[in-house]
Structure 1
Amino acid sequence: MGDTVRMILRVREVSPVEPAFDAVCALFDDYRAHYGRRRAPRDVRIWLGAQVAAGRLAIYAAAVDGTPRALATATESSASLALGTAWTIRDLWVDPQFRRRGLATELVRAVARAARDAGALRLGLQTEVGNEAALDLYLRLGFERVTGLEILAYDLTDY
């Protein structure tokens, strides 16, 4: 029989004025590096702080024994046809050493509760093609694939 390790997991929204924000920024920098972006700790902190301050992004952290080990970001937008709002999970990252321990599940549930409490009509998300672990999690949590929509983007950097 193996040893059971107990961990204290707490999920909550984090703001730039809290000490935990630095650890969340480090996780976000790890997330970006995973997807091939150069590390930029200072720029990440400035950008995340500005997004939160402007109300464009909320950041949720899952802390294990008091240290943030996973994060999710969420945005709110209009649900025009329904005359309401919808939330979207934009980013979700779990420190590789803390995967398969329920942190992502708890983050998604916390964002879903916050969205529902704010009156949102739905919670959406997207993930990279081929990210089977994420797809399995999201489908298990009750998300459904959206059919009948095409996702398009227009690059404005050279506009």
Structure 2
Amino acid sequence: MPSDIVRPTAAHLAPLFDEYRAHYGEAPFPARTTAWLEEHLTSGRLTAYAAGDSGFITVAIQPASLRLATAWMIRDLYVRPAGRRRGTARALLRHVIVEARTAGALRVSLQTETDNAGALALYGSLGFRPVTGLELLNLTLS
């Protein structure tokens, strides 16, 4: 299990992030990936944590308007195949939970595919529960 989880620079995270994108069928695009990460990390729209070169997690911190607080939304979680089943994903998730709690966030949320049994088991073991009574809706713009 990794002990050193850090906030990476865009340049450090870009190769691993491009590998993650390729895992989901996107073509590698190193220069654009680096620029995209730089834009979103420096603007504060996205926060990232890395466990060395083994894996990373990204979080969008969103306003929780009614409660005048924040909610953290895990956007991406990736561990290289060679590093899986070694506690890296769990360590990254725990790190985000501690950071969110320390920041006074109301909750940490995430979404995954319904057939991703391994991820669902991991998330459940950390206390994440399905949300009932809500629907996820999208409007595709392109």
TM-score by length of 2: 0.94
1:56 partner letter: R
Using a 3 Å threshold, how does the CA distance of structure 1 residues 135 and 38 change in structure 2: closer, same or farther? Answer: same
Aligned length: 142
Matched residue, 1:74: 59
What is the SS of the residue equivalent to 1:134? Answer: helix
Q: Deviations over 1:6-60 (max 9, x none)?
A: x7631122233xxxx43x2111111111111111111111101110011100110
> What stretches of structure 1 of length at least 5 have no aligned partner?
1-6
Q: Point out where structure 2 has 5 or more consecutive residues left out of the alignment.
A: none
1:47 aligns with 2:41: no
Amino acid at match of 2:83: F
Looking at CA atoms only, which structure, 1 or 2, has the larger radius of gyration?
1
* Structure 1 residue matching 2:127: 3-state secondary structure: coil
Residues 50-86 of structure 1: CA deviation (Å, up to 9, x unaligned): 10011100110012xxxx2100000111112222110
- Greater strand content: 1
Cα distance, 1:121–1:25 mapped onto 2, change above 3 Å:
same
Distance in 1, matches of 2:8 and 2:100, equals 15
Distance in structure 2 (CA, Å) of the matches to 1:146 and 1:58: 24
Map Cα deviations across residues 90-116 of structure 1 (whole Å, 9 max, x no partner).
Answer: 000000000000000000011111111
Alignment of 1:36-115 (within 5 A): 36-63=25-52, 68-115=53-100
After TM superposition, the runs of 4+ consecutive aligned structure 1 residues lying more than 4 A away are none
| Contact preservation (8 Å) 1:60, 1:73 | yes
Question: How big is the alpha-carbon RMSD for the aligned residues of Structure 1 and Structure 2?
Answer: 1.3
Secondary structure at 1:145 match in 2: coil
Q: TM-score, normalised by structure 1?
A: 0.84
Once residues 133 and 91 of structure 2 are traced to their aligned partners in structure 1, the CA distance between those partners, rounded to angstroms, is 30
C-alpha displacement at 1:135, in angstroms?
Answer: 0.7
